[in-house]
A and B are shown apart, each in its own frame.
Chain A
Amino acid sequence: MNLLTRLASSAALAAIMALSPLAAQAADITIAIGSEPSTLDPQVRDDGGERAVNDNIYETLMARTPDGELVAGLAATPPTQVDPKTWEFKLRPDIKFHNGEAFNADAVVNSVKRVIDPALKSEQAAYFGTITGAEKVDDLTVRITTSGPDPILPSRMYWMKMIPASYSADAKFAEAPVGTGPYKFASWNRGQDLVLEKNADYWGAPASIDKVTFRFVGESGTRLSGLMAGELDVITNLLPEFAQQAPKFAAVSGMETSVIVLSADNEATKDVRVREAMNLAIDRQALAESLFGGYASPAKGQLVNPKAFGYNKSLPEYKHDLEKAKALVKEAGAEGRTVQLVGEAGRWLKDRELIEAVGAYWTEAGLKVDIKIEDFSEYLNQLFDKNKRPDAIFVSNSNELLDADREMTSAYQSGASYASNSDKEMSDQISAARVETDVEKRQALYDAVTTKAYEQSYLAPLLNQQDIYGFSKRLEWQPRVDSKLLVKEMKVTE
C-alpha cells in the first residue's frame, strides 16, 4: 500500500467516524469505569477496575442474585460441612474455560492454592485469611479447609475467581485472561479501552450483548459528558444531582455506610447521655434528602449493611429529636463542652459536607464542636491510632463480602481496627461469632452486639448510600446490590 492510498483510507476512516461519532452497533455497548485495570490477573490485586472487567470473564463457586442472596455459582449446590474446618463443594459438570481447558476439581484446587500462596502477595489475601488449603476428592468434588471454624467461607468463595489449572502459569495470564464466564477477552489497548466478546459456548443462560467495550474515565464529569454525548451506555457513580440529567438512571442500595465512631473512653464523650444526644441531634433524613438527593437512607441504628448477614432487623433508626438531645446534654452537664470531630475530604462521596453538617447538628444540641478536616494520611494516622482515640471520627465502611464480620472487626470490636470502645464483653461475643458455624447462633451473637452498641451509642451510624448508575436510552439493566457490572444481565432495546 503506498502512502497515498494509506492517506486516503485514513482520511475516509476519519470522515466516517466524524459522520457517526462512535455510534455503536445494536448489541455492542460501551461502559465507562473509573480506573483502568492494573492487571487482568484476577487473583493479585484488590482493584475496582480489574474487578469490573474480570467479573464478566471469570466466575466463582458461589454467586449472588442481583438482590444479594448467596446462591451456587460454578458449584452445583451450596457447600456442605464435613467437619467444622472443612467444607465440601460439588462442581457443575461439563464447563470449559475459554481456551478449552476443563473446569474441574484441579482448577478449583489450583485457584485456592495460588491465591493463598504468600509468594503471590495477593492483596485479596484479607478476604481469604482463614483458608489453609484445598484438596481434590474426585473430578467434581473439592474440599476446602480453614484454620478454624469459618462460617463465612461460602461468602468468601463468592469472592474467589476460578482460574484454569494450567494456563494460569502462563506469562500471558495477566494480560489475556481466560475464564469460564459469559464474556471472553478480546483486546486491551492500554490506556484506551478493553474489549470483551460474548462467549458463545457459555454454560448458563446466553447473554444478549455481543460485545462490550470498557473505557477508563476517571472524572465523573467527563463520564457524564460521554453519556450525554451518546458515547457511553453505562456509567458508574453518577452524582445524585445528575440523576435527572442522565438519559436514564437507576439507583440501588449500595455497600457503603457512613458512620461516626464515638469514643466511649475519652473524657468529653465518656457519658453515654452525651453520646446518645449526639446520635439524636442528627437529622439523617434531611441529610439523605439534601446531600444525596434522596439516594441514601438513614442507617438503622447499626453500621451493618442491610443486605449483609448479621444485620439486626429489630433495631430502629436513631430518631431525630433535638429537644431530647439538648436535655441529655444539659443533664450530663456537658453544655458548651468541646468535642473533637475528625474527618477528611474527597475520599468518599460528600464526606466533607456530611461531617460539617453533623458538626452543625451537634452545635445545635449544645456542644462545642471542633471540626478537624485532616489530609488523608494524617486522617488515617488518627483513625488507626490505638492509643489515642479521637472523640469522634468519620469513616465510610464498605462491605464486599456482605457479612457482618467486616463491620464488627472494623468498628465494633475493641482494639481490632478503628473501634473507640473498650467493651470486653462485646469483643468476646464478636470473636465467638467469628467461629460460630451455626447460622442462628451466629445471628444471635451479632444481634446482641449491635443492640448493645446501639444502647451505648458507641457509633453514630449515618447513611446507607445508594449506588447510582447512568444509562443510555437504549440500555436496560437492574443494578446489583453487590455493585458488580455484570454485562450478561444487560440488554439493549432497539
Chain B
Amino acid sequence: MAIPMPVTTPAAILRNAGRGPTMLKRLGELGRELWQDKLGTLGFAIIVGLLLMAIFAPLLAPYDPAAQSVVSRLKPPAWLPKGSWEHVLGTDHLGRDVLSRVIYGARASLLVGVVVVLAAGTFGVVVGLWAGFKGGRTDAILMRIVDVQVAFPGLLLILLIISVIGPSMMTMIIVLAVTNWMVYARVVRGIVLSVRQTPYVEAAEMIGCRTSRVVFRHILPNLSSPLLTLGILEFTNIVLAEAALSFLGLGVQPPATSWGLDVANGRDYIFIAWWLITFPGLSIAITVLAVNLFASWVRVTTDPQEREKRYAYQRAKAAARGRRQSPANSEGGSA
C-alpha cells in the first residue's frame, strides 16, 4: 500500500463486471482495504454470519422454534444454576427454546429488511430516474408527491392501515415499502440532474444517444455507490421498524417468530426470566450495529474525499509507528 492507489468504488467494480481477472483483483483489493478497518470487518463478518444463520436456520436450530413443552417452561440459560445444556439460552414461558427462536428470528428481520429495501429502492429509483429525465411537469408532480408523502404522519398512518387490514408479515412489508421509497427517489433525481449537466452526458444526449444507453452507461454507475450506502442505512431502519411493529403486535404474528415479537412476549416475565428479552433484544442491537459499522466503511470507501482522508490518516499513523520502531518498517506497517 505504499503507492497511492486509484480510487476504487463499488461503482467501478460494477463497471468492470465481466472482465474476470480484473474484477477478482479489485475485489481482493477491496477485501484488503476492509481488513484495515477492524470495525468494518467485524460488522461484515457478523452480517455474513447472520445471513448464514437465517438461511441454514433449520440445520442450526436445535429445536422447532414453535415447539412448546409445558414441562420445561422458563428454564434459565445453561450456565445458570438451574439451566441445562439442552437449552443453551433457556426456554420461554411456553417452554420454547430461546436459542432456536433467536436463530429463526433472524429470518424475519433479514427477510423484511431485504425485501422492503429492494422493493422501496426499486420503486424509488424508477421514480427518481423518471422525474430526473422527464423534467418539467412530470418532475414537478412526482417530486410534489414525494414532498407530500414525506410530510405524512408516517408511523401513525401505518398503524391505522395495519389495524384496518389486519396485521401480517405481508401487510407489514407492503406498508413499510410504500412509506419508505421517497428517500431513494429524491437521491436518484438529484444525481440524475447533476450528472445530466456534466459535459459528457450533455454531449452523449446531443449526438442522439438513446435514453436507455445514457441511463445504463452514464447514470447508473454514478448512482450505485450512493444507493449502496443509502440502501444499507435504510436496511437498519427497516430492521428496527420491523422489530418495533412486531413488538407492538402489529407485525409478525405468532406462530411465526421475530425478535421484536419475542421481546414483547418476554416483557411480562422480565423479573423472573431476564433471558427472554435479553437475547432477542441483543440480536436486534447486534444486527443493526454490525450493519452500521459496515455502512460507515462503505460510505468512506465510496467517497473519494473520505478515502483520501483515511489514507492520509493511516499513512500518518504508520509513519508515527515506524519512527517509534525502526525506520525500515515504516512502509510495511500499514500494509
| Chain B neighbourhood of A219, CB < 8 A | 267-268
Contact of A241 with B70 at beta-carbon distance under 8 Å, contacts A221-B268, A375-B166 already known: no
Stretch from B43-51, B52-60, B154-162, B269-277 that touches the partner:
B269-277
| Contact, CB under 8 Å: B94 / A353 | yes
**What would 21 A/B residue contacts be, using CB atoms closer than 8 Å?**
A221-B267, A221-B268, A224-B271, A228-B271, A239-B269, A241-B73, A241-B74, A241-B93, A241-B269, A245-B271, A245-B272, A286-B70, A290-B70, A290-B73, A345-B254, A353-B68, A353-B94, A357-B70, A373-B255, A375-B166, A377-B166
User: Who on chain B is nearest to A287 by CB?
Assistant: B70
Contact of A291 with B267 at beta-carbon distance under 8 Å, contacts A245-B272, A345-B254, A375-B166 already known: no
Min CB distance, A238 to chain B, in Å?
10
| Chain A neighbourhood of B270, CB < 8 A | 221, 225
Distance between Cα atoms of A373 and B271 in the complex (Å): 29
Q: How many residues of B contact A (CB 8 A)?
A: 17
Within 8 Å by CB of A242, from B73, B253, B254, B271, lies: B271
Within 8 Å by CB of B272, from A225, A241, A353, lies: A241
Interface size class of A (residues with CB under 8 A): 20 to 34
User: For window 203-222 of chain A, which residues contact chain B by CB distance below 8 Å?
Assistant: 219-221
Determine if B2 is an interface residue (Cβ-Cβ < 8 Å).
no
User: For window 164-185 of chain B, which residues contact chain A by CB distance below 8 Å?
Assistant: 166
Min CB distance, B273 to chain A, in Å?
8
Determine if B71 is an interface residue (Cβ-Cβ < 8 Å).
yes
Determine if A135 is an interface residue (Cβ-Cβ < 8 Å).
no
Contact with B along A222-241 (1 / 0, CB 8 A): 00110010000000000101
| Chain A neighbourhood of B71, CB < 8 A | 290
| Chain B neighbourhood of A245, CB < 8 A | 271-272
| Contact, CB under 8 Å: A356 / B271 | no
Q: Could you tell me the dominant secondary structure of chain B's interface residues?
A: loop
Distance between Cα atoms of A412 and B294 in the complex (Å): 63
| Chain B neighbourhood of A375, CB < 8 A | 166, 253
Within 8 Å by CB of A220, from B68, B254, B268, B272, lies: B268
> Can you list the 7 inter-chain pairs with the closest CB atoms, starting with the nearest?
A290-B70, A221-B268, A221-B267, A220-B268, A245-B272, A245-B271, A221-B270
User: Who on chain A is nearest to B272 by CB?
Assistant: A245
Distance between Cα atoms of A221 and B93 in the complex (Å): 13
Contact with A along B270-293 (1 / 0, CB 8 A): 111000000000000000000000
User: For window 323-377 of chain A, which residues contact chain B by CB distance below 8 Å?
Assistant: 345, 352-353, 356-357, 373, 375, 377
| Contact, CB under 8 Å: B68 / A356 | yes
Distance between Cα atoms of A82 and B71 in the complex (Å): 58
| Contact, CB under 8 Å: B268 / A239 | yes
Distance between Cα atoms of A138 and B62 in the complex (Å): 77
Given A228-B271, A242-B271, 5 additional A-B pairs, CB 8 A: A220-B268, A353-B70, A353-B94, A375-B253, A377-B166
Min CB distance, A400 to chain B, in Å?
26
| Chain A neighbourhood of B74, CB < 8 A | 241
| Chain A neighbourhood of B68, CB < 8 A | 353, 356
| Chain B neighbourhood of A225, CB < 8 A | 270-271
| Chain A neighbourhood of B267, CB < 8 A | 219, 221
Contact with B along A39-64 (1 / 0, CB 8 A): 00000000000000000000000000
User: Who on chain B is nearest to A375 by CB?
Assistant: B166
Contact with A along B75-115 (1 / 0, CB 8 A): 00000000000000000011000000000000000000000
User: Who on chain A is nearest to B70 by CB?
Assistant: A290
| Chain A neighbourhood of B269, CB < 8 A | 221, 239, 241
| Contact, CB under 8 Å: B272 / A242 | yes
Distance between Cα atoms of A357 and B69 in the complex (Å): 9
